[in-house]
């Protein structure tokens, strides 16, 4: 396996959103800086770097750069009452929720070491979640023109989202990622118009299965599918 496909995996457990965002940004900048140095000094030894972070956040709403703040249905005072925070951030997409019981994944990949196709990158992330759900008997897919992973995607009235995606890519280095609903408190989604889509609800594995699957088991299955699809080797 080429060192370019080595990925440092970190399961960060429960971590404050802003602290994790700052950490992501530091990893992202380190990769970008190394790429710039390599272009200035092509004779230097290749020193590539990729990361995958899994994390659970305390209750938080994040708004992408193209999103509408009106899709947050709570005032600042109401946010405090429900114990949630709010951050406008630099990813694509609209508003979403992160909280306990949700796998949030942040791949910080130099796509020039994989493929320079952001759409394929998004499809691979979606596919990893689709394959994970299939292991629990949940059939999932995609909706044309919308990112994320959906159930009953062919039926407009029944379609519901189980995972949201929102990424940034600069100099072919990725930032942010996906939020996969395993068994979060679904009540928190009623405080927003998720991803700015008002006519399609959000769901979770717990809601679909009638029980909460083992969270650590789901993470391991998801990690394995990401590894296979991207052809990577994990290092701790």
Widest pairwise Cα distance in the chain: 57
Nearest to 137 by CA among 199, 208, 33, 86: 208
Residue 78: what are its φ and ψ, rounded to 5°?
A: -70, -35
Active site residue 20: no
CA–chain centroid gap for 201, Å, is 18
DSSP β-bridge partners for residue 16:
none
Residue tagged 């990725």 (tokens) = 174
Nearest to 122 by CA among 98, 148, 89, 141: 148
Q: How many CA atoms lie within 13 A of 100 on its CB side?
A: 5
- Rg (C-alpha) for the chain, rounded Å, is 18
Q: Look at strands 173-181 and 233-235 and give their pairing.
A: unpaired
Q: Rounded to whole angstroms, how far apart are CA atoms 210 and 206?
A: 6
Active-site pick, 195, 222, 226, 232: 195
Q: Bin 117: left if φ > 0, else alpha if -120 < ψ < 50, else beta.
A: beta
DSSP structural state of residue 47 = -
Q: Which residues are catalytic?
A: 195
């Amino acid at each position: 396996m080429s060192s370019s496909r080595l990925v440092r995996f970190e399961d960060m457990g429960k971590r404050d959103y802003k602290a994790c965002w700052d950490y992501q940004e530091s990893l992202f900048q380190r990769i970008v800086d190394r790429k710039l140095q390599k272009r200035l000094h092509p004779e230097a030894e290749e020193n590539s770097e990729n990361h995958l972070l899994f994390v659970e956040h305390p209750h938080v709403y994040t708004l992408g750069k193209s999103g509408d703040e009106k899709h947050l249905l709570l005032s600042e005072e109401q946010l405090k009452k429900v114990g949630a925070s709010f951050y406008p951030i630099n990813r694509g997409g609209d508003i979403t929720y992160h909280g306990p019981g949700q796998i949030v994944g942040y791949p910080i990949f130099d796509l020039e070491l994989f493929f320079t196709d952001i759409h394929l990158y998004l499809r691979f992330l979606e596919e990893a979640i689709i394959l994970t759900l299939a292991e629990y008997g949940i059939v999932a897919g995609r909706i044309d023109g919308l990112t994320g992973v959906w159930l009953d995607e062919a039926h407009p009235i029944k379609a519901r989202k189980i995972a949201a995606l929102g990424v940034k890519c600069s100099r072919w280095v990725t930032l942010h990622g996906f939020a996969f609903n395993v068994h979060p408190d679904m009540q928190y989604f009623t405080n927003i118009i998720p991803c700015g889509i008002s006519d399609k609800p959000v769901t979770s594995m717990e809601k679909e299965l009638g029980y909460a699957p083992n969270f650590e088991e789901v993470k391991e299955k998801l990690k394995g599918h990401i590894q296979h699809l991207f052809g990577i080797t994990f290092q701790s």
